[in-house]
């Protein structure tokens, strides 16, 4: 089955700096890669996703890049704000319709004001 690894497990940045979280996957059949943000005690919320036919996607301060050959994808947050503090999870799946998602172990991001 698929195996998703996520690094780092914790990340602290100063407000305004950039944050980068990296994930690798093992199954070349995976072609959908969402990122979720989970605040303490709340539901995971989809913040951005990318399909395997695209190398990069951007939404305001958030971007995701995908390298299919190397089987890794990354989340980039620019101009970080205190409200970006949360746990971020990457995931891999065959598609977006809810087929089994394989999640990474999460990155706890702290943005220091």
Partner 1 sequence: DAGVTQSPTHLIKTRGQQVTLRCSPKSGHDTVSWYQQALGQGPQFIFQYYEEEERQRGNFPDRFSGHQFPNYSSELNVNALLLGDSALYLCASSLVDGNEKLFFGSGTQLSVL
5: number of Cβ within 10 Å: 13
Closer CB to partner 1, 77 or 104, in the complex: 104
Q: How far is CA 68 from CA 1, 22, 61, 108, in A?
A: 17, 14, 23, 25
Q: How far is the CB of 104 from partner 1 (least distance, A)?
A: 5
Q: How far is the CB of 40 from partner 1 (least distance, A)?
A: 11
The tokens for 95 are: 């598609």
Of residues 78 and 96, the one with the C-beta less far from partner 1: 96
Tell me whether residue 17 or residue 59 sits nearer to partner 1 (CB atom): 59
Q: Look up residue 87 and give its two tokens.
A: 């746990």
Min CB(95)–partner 1 separation in Å: 10
């Amino acid at each position: 089955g698929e195996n998703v690894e996520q690094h780092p497990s914790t990340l602290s940045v100063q407000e305004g700096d950039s944050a980068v979280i990296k994930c690798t996957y093992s199954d070349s059949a995976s072609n959908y890669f969402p990122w979720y943000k989970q605040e303490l005690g709340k539901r995971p919320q989809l913040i951005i996703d990318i399909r395997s036919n695209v190398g990069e996607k951007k939404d305001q301060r958030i971007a995701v890049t995908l390298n299919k050959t190397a089987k890794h994808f990354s989340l980039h947050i620019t101009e970080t704000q205190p409200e970006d503090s949360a746990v971020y999870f990457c995931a891999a799946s065959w598609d977006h319709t809810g087929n089994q998602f394989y999640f990474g172990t999460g990155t706890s991001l702290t943005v220091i004001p």
